[in-house]
A and B are shown apart, each in its own frame.
Chain A
């Protein structure tokens, strides 16, 4: 077992643990904290995959913006009286479906023979990513920024409420 693998398993364990914490924690705040753990562990995974740019973006967007947004939402939607159960009635079915999906996709992944070298991580240069983003993918990039602006404007309008509210 190489040291890379050791790091991978450690990080993977953190990801799984964080994810499980998100979905099973009783307290909603705990869930949010577990989510931060999982997201940061995923960022670590990105570094393992030699995608430093994405790791940075991950930390900035998720670790910063998304998590703060979620925490704000939690605060604003706090129900103070009786703590209702956090899980719905279809929990067993959900578990069944999720396990079945996991097994199915795992079998699919492991039984697939991928083309090319499937055990060597290629380092993708930071600047080549930015080159590609602003040349080949320039139009989608611009459209994505437009989507972001429209969505956030919509979010503001929705959250602000109507006149007199």
Chain B
């Protein structure tokens, strides 16, 4: 466990090697990148076993594995470069390393022949290294550094095909939008540090729990922290970058959505949740409400989107909102469980979508369809992913969603619970629609469908490997499963905030949610089966709503308007100020003044002796007169 720092260090080293020697390596070094992330994945197991042993040995006093080096040291200001392993970290580690490994194997085939093939794998390595560092960081400053590293890599990868204007725009949008949140994150970190005098997460939590912070101050600080999560995890109102991020290569989307980018916000909030709890209740309410708004908004937008990847992107927003609702209900268990299974089924969905795009070179669901017979493996695994997302028993998504619903029911008001249930219905609806339009019934574009075929093993094997945890991953909630694997119990006894909890099956909630989900699926089936007549009729009948959804609630337009009118307006004023006041008056003015002084005054230097002598004489006379007038006694 002490050597956990190796987990991010190996991909980081791989990145450096690829950056320098990549073009000279055989196959441009893709094997090196995969080997590095594979090593990280393998290294995860000893860390896990160590941790489980430590927990079993001494559960009460357990504080996690720590390893740190001195990083910056001044008198009174010390930062350690530290790594910290505990249960939450472990969950993240397995998701990140496993999904990243799958995605990279998949990419070998998907990215084959790309002119920047080697660069792609180099950045993938850096991406994984950044995320693993973020997960393992024991202090907020290191976490922030890794956080920015993740953002930077996502910028590079979303804009990987930067020749395409939309890709470059999307990369810029993602970068700038998340940056807005990051500023808040940094402010929050500084606020926490100011009072506690340390960046160490555990010490800050300890400080906060002992009431070291003023309540209002702490609330403001955690809300700033949450701003970072909003940006990174694409929560309303900073969600606009996530759908656009689909411009990147599909494996990148899978990685960003499932493992390395958006869950960072959830992880950070989960990690800092004791601080949120210590703050005023408003903080958690904000988390809940924004999560809920995101859930409902993204679910409805998912109904109208036609790009296969965008639909899945909305489902990610949906899931992330779910996790934040769980966190708002003070349940690390539910949030991390959802994150855990979400990582698998969401990457499965994306990689499945990638397989479809790879086979047909189309991504608009209105041009797809009828692929089930041509691509059986993709279809089946995609169906499993959809089932997990919808929450069909016994797929993994069901258990996680059930957990979220349970904590929402017990911690939040009935209204919020009802809204979450509605979102479950809509989720089922649009996921069904996506599946039907993509894989079933008559192909809309017969030519593309005729040429579609299953990809090679490098494409299908990761799908199958990801399908396994998608199906069984949820079973970790059971105490008996956990005990069989050597854990003290189920997921609830492994990851918890206040008290470890034995798993309890809430039949009422399970029935309710299953009924809602099935209703959604059935409705979707009725609406979009065959030629989707019902859906077309409904859309035509409610065209304003459809427009509203397909225009994404006009939020992007509002932002664009704001940028055009407010930001650019202010920019105009600032640029005028810079040009006229700073440049013309300040810089040019002082330069002109000294030029004028130098040029004009130099003519008084005639070089003629009598002039200088006159100056001396005048000086003497003036001094003499002054002495006389003021009667100075020498």
Contacts and interface: CB of A to CB of B under 8 A. Distances in A.
Report the contact-size class of chain B (Cβ under 8 Å from the partner): 10 to 19
Interface string B596-628: 000000000000001100100110110011011
B610 A107 contact: no
Interface stretch (A26-34, A72-80, A90-98): A90-98
Contact of A88 (B610, B618, B621, B628): B610
Contacts of B624: 101, 104-105, 108
A51 B182 CA distance: 95
A88 B612 CA distance: 13
A100 interface: yes
Given A90-B610, A90-B611, A101 B617 contact: yes
A104 B621 CA distance: 7
A88 B610 CA distance: 8
A144 B553 CA distance: 101
B628 to A, nearest CB: 6
Contacts of A107: 628
A101 B621 contact: yes
A104 B629 CA distance: 10
Nearest to B609: A88
27 contacts: A88-B610, A90-B610, A90-B611, A90-B614, A93-B614, A94-B610, A94-B614, A94-B617, A97-B614, A97-B617, A97-B618, A97-B621, A98-B617, A100-B621, A100-B625, A101-B617, A101-B621, A101-B624, A104-B621, A104-B624, A104-B625, A104-B628, A105-B624, A107-B628, A108-B624, A108-B627, A108-B628
B633 to A, nearest CB: 11
- Mostly, the B contact residues are helix
**B617, B618, B621 — which one has the most chain A CB atoms within 10 A of its CB?**
B621
Contacts of B628: 104, 107-108
A125 B611 CA distance: 45
B138 to A, nearest CB: 80
Interface residues of A, number: 12
Given A98-B617, A101-B621, 12 more contacts: A94-B610, A97-B617, A97-B618, A97-B621, A100-B625, A101-B620, A101-B624, A104-B624, A104-B625, A105-B624, A107-B628, A108-B628
A98 B624 CA distance: 13
Contacts of B627: 108
Interface of A: 88, 90, 93-94, 97-98, 100-101, 104-105, 107-108
**A90, A97, A100 — which one has the most chain B CB atoms within 10 A of its CB?**
A97
Contacts of B618: 97
Nearest to B619: A97
Contacts of B621: 97, 100-101, 104
Nearest to A94: B614
Contacts of A88: 610
Contacts of A104: 621, 624-625, 628
Interface string B41-66: 00000000000000000000000000
Q: Which 6 A-B pairs have the closest CB atoms?
A: A104-B624, A97-B617, A100-B621, A88-B610, A101-B621, A90-B614
Interface in B434-452: none
A88 B617 CA distance: 16
A97 B610 CA distance: 13
A104 B620 CA distance: 10
A143 B348 CA distance: 104
Nearest to B617: A97
A131 B618 CA distance: 41
Nearest to A105: B624
Contacts of B611: 90
Contacts of B625: 100, 104
Contacts of A100: 621, 625
Contacts of B620: 101
A58 to B, nearest CB: 26
A109 to B, nearest CB: 11
B624 to A, nearest CB: 4
A158 to B, nearest CB: 17
**A98, A104, A105, A108 — which one has the most chain B CB atoms within 10 A of its CB?**
A104
B420 to A, nearest CB: 96
A34 B475 CA distance: 126
A91 to B, nearest CB: 10
A90 B614 CA distance: 8
Nearest to A87: B610
Contacts of A98: 617
A90 B612 CA distance: 11
Nearest to A99: B621
A94 B624 CA distance: 17
B168 to A, nearest CB: 72
Nearest to A107: B628
A98 B621 CA distance: 9
A100 B619 CA distance: 12
A11 B502 CA distance: 129
A93 B614 CA distance: 8
Nearest to B608: A88
A110 to B, nearest CB: 11
Nearest to B625: A104
Contacts of B614: 90, 93-94, 97
A104 B622 CA distance: 9
B632 to A, nearest CB: 11
Contacts of A90: 610-611, 614
A107 to B, nearest CB: 6
A11 to B, nearest CB: 27
Nearest to A100: B621
A90 B611 CA distance: 8
A147 B221 CA distance: 82
A90 B624 CA distance: 22
Nearest to B623: A104
A105 B618 CA distance: 14
